[in-house]
Amino acid sequence: MIDVKLENQEWKTYIDSRRAGRYDAARAGWSADYNQATTFGNYFLSNSSNNTAKYANPEYDKAMAESYAATDAEGRAKAYAKAEEILAKDYGIVPIFNYVNPRLVKPYVKGYSGKDPQDHIYLRNLYIIKH
């Protein structure tokens, strides 16, 4: 059995507590703001201001640096995979859920890609084909 004391805080206090590391466990979320693995990978760099988990591993930082230096997609993917493996082995975080945004799009609605990292849908791109 694990005893847990929940502490509800106002948003500013919560953010300050996370940045200062005044917690044993905290809920946090992150969503991609661009379509590249670094949008998540940079979060866990030792020197990242977003790294409120205080995770630090020089090997992870090195793998991410290799991704920046890669000159092609294959090299980046290899470096990202290495960084991800290190993070998973270290349990730098423990994800408890993932965001999903299911969409049901009629087959005659075109222009919807579903690939925007922030899940934006621009109506100007949608059109109806004859059906």
Please state the domain extents for the chain. 30-128
Distance of alpha carbon 4 from the chain centroid: 26
Q: For the chain, what is the radius of gyration of the CA atoms?
A: 19
> 16-73, pLDDT tens digit by residue?
998 898 988 888 888 778 888 898 999 999 999 889 889 999 999 999 999 999 999 9
Q: Please indicate whether residue 5 or residue 76 has the higher confidence score (pLDDT).
A: 76
**Best CATH choice for the domain 30-128 from the list 3.10.105.10, 2.40.37.10, 3.40.50.2300, 3.20.20.70:** 3.10.105.10
Question: Given this model, what pLDDT does residue 75 score?
Answer: 96
pTM summary value: 0.72
H-state helical runs in the chain? 11-20, 38-41, 58-69, 73-90
118 confidence band (pLDDT: 50, 70, 90): confident
Residue 78: C-alpha distances to residues 29, 40, 83, 88 (Å): 26, 16, 9, 15
Q: Residue 119: pLDDT above 90?
A: no
